[in-house]
Amino acid sequence: MRKLPAKLASQLYGAAELIAERGLDGTKIEDIAEATGIPKATIYYHLDGKNAVLEFLLGDLLDMIAGAVGVAVASEENARTRLEAAVQAQLGVMLEHPSLCRALVGDLGRATRLPELAAALRTAFYEPIEQLLAEGVSDGSLRQVADPGAVALSVFGAITLAGLSAAVEGPSADPSADAARLSAAVSELVLDGLATPGSRDQRRSEPL
């Protein structure tokens, strides 16, 4: 797989909608050729087959997310505030690229089986959150939890599912407003939880 001229790369995005709709299986190479305007022979000249098309598209999405989250996480605020920013950043990118997201869910299996993508997935989503959790404990803005790995994963899940489902609902008129609304809801959950103060004492209290 060579490094794909810019023009072709941009044309390739024309296949995202198609793949999101039908899945990669349901999409023939000829369909992709037609949708993108790149002839089949040319696709095969540059890419190692159908999977590589998906790999390219998703790699790009993941890079965008990793970039946006990276920026959000790098500020001078406390970890808690940066976590909110990260949530918003991730959801912002996701809602701006709904069909890439749909393609991602749809062919997640293939994606995680493609080793490079699995790694990109880790760096885009999971690692920044895990990092933040640790820093929040240091700066006192986030609680210490018993199993940080599991919690990071859950937070990741909470954000991602929310974004994914929004993406599946279909593209919205104002993605950034939606992202703001959604990320408020998700941050609220992740930071403050759902329990009422009153119900808290019904629990066997074990300080962590």
Partner DNA sequence: TCGTAGTTGTACTTCCAGTACAAACCATGA
Partner DNA sequence: TCATGGTTTGTACTGGAAGTACAACTACGA
Which residues here bind a copy of itself, judged by CB under 8 A? 23-26, 78, 80-81, 83, 105-110, 112-113, 133, 136, 140-143, 145-147, 150-151, 153-162, 165-166, 181-182, 184-186, 188-196, 198-200, 202, 208
Asked whether the beta carbons of 11 and 36 are under 8 A apart, the reply is yes
Which partner from the list DNA, a copy of itself, none does 134 bind, CB cut-off 5 to 8 Å by kind? Answer: none
Phi then psi dihedrals of residue 4, to 5 deg: 35, 105
**Residue nearer to a copy of itself on the CB measure, 38 or 130:** 130
Contact pattern from residue 123 through residue 162 relative to DNA, giving x for each residue in contact according to CB under 7 A and a dash for the rest: ----------------------------------------
147's CB contacts (< 8 A; 6+ apart) are none
**Residue nearer to DNA on the CB measure, 8 or 134:** 8
Which partner from the list DNA, a copy of itself, none does 45 bind, CB cut-off 5 to 8 Å by kind? Answer: DNA
Asked whether the beta carbons of 72 and 86 are under 8 A apart, the reply is yes
**Residue nearer to a copy of itself on the CB measure, 38 or 101:** 101
Q: What six digits make up the tokens of 96?
A: 């701006």
**Residue nearer to DNA on the CB measure, 39 or 67:** 39
Q: What six digits make up the tokens of 140?
A: 């006192």
94's CB contacts (< 8 A; 6+ apart) are 65, 101, 160, 163, 164, 166, 167, 179
Q: Is 147 helix (H, G, I), strand (E, B) or coil?
A: coil
**Residue nearer to DNA on the CB measure, 18 or 93:** 18
Which partner from the list DNA, a copy of itself, none does 145 bind, CB cut-off 5 to 8 Å by kind? Answer: a copy of itself
Q: How far apart are the first and last CA of the chain?
A: 50
What is the Cα–Cα distance from 87 to 81, expressed in whole angstroms?
A: 10
Asked whether the beta carbons of 128 and 73 are under 8 A apart, the reply is yes
Contact pattern from residue 47 through residue 86 relative to DNA, giving x for each residue in contact according to CB under 7 A and a dash for the rest: -xxxx-----------------------------------
Where in 30-49 is the site for DNA (CB under 7 A)?
A: 30, 38-42, 44-46, 48-49
Nearest to residue 79, comparing CAs of 30, 140, 36? Answer: 140
Positions that interact with DNA (CB under 7 A) = 2, 5, 7-8, 27-30, 38-42, 44-46, 48-51
